Amino acid sequence: MKVVRVFLFVIALASLLAAGTAQAADPPSGTLSRKSRSVKWSGTFVAPEPHPVAGCAGGSSDPICDHYLLKVNLPDGARIRIDLPAPSAATDLDLFVYAPTGGEVGSSGNLPGEAEFVEFRHSARYTNKPYEVLIRPWIVVPGTTYTATAKVR
């Protein structure tokens, strides 16, 4: 009976790790506009993340990071700020923002327990094309949750 329990535990752990370290952002996307000047999303990291791990590039489906798609339907030059408060003093999450063309428009990689933020100016050529916001776990424990906000400044 003990062997069966150990076997089931190993299978459950392997499937959890194979699924990646993050669940999808909830909701997975949002739009900033004149009527909606702020959007909020959250996520949960379900497995510990070894430090350091490569990955988390814009446009990838890499499960290491949480991916959020942010559309901006505002005039050229609109100032956008994305905030990611630290979930705890022992947690380290980093924040990356990529333009629809794949180029990085900003990143924040502060120390554990410090909030992350990125500010950038929207380019009208990207209207109705989503920016990709990636949240990268560096130090997390299973079940770590976060809440992020994007707003027009």
- DSSP assignment of 43-104 equals EEE-S---SS-----TT---TTSEEEEEEE-S-TT-EEEEEE--SSTT-EEEEEEE-TTS-E
pLDDT at 109: 93
Its pTM surpasses 0.85: no
Average pLDDT of the segment spanning 68-93: 95
CATH number at residue 132: 2.60.120.380
Hey, what are 48's tokens? 């510990």
pLDDT above 70: percentage of residues in the chain: 74
Output the pLDDT for position 9. 32
pLDDT confidence bin for 27, thresholds 50/70/90 = very high
| Total count of domains within the chain | 1
Provide the pLDDT confidence category of residue 128 given band limits of 50, 70 and 90: confident
The residue among 19 and 101 whose pLDDT is bigger is 101
Please tell me the predicted confidence (pLDDT) of residue 64: 74
Domain holding 124, by residue range, is 2-152
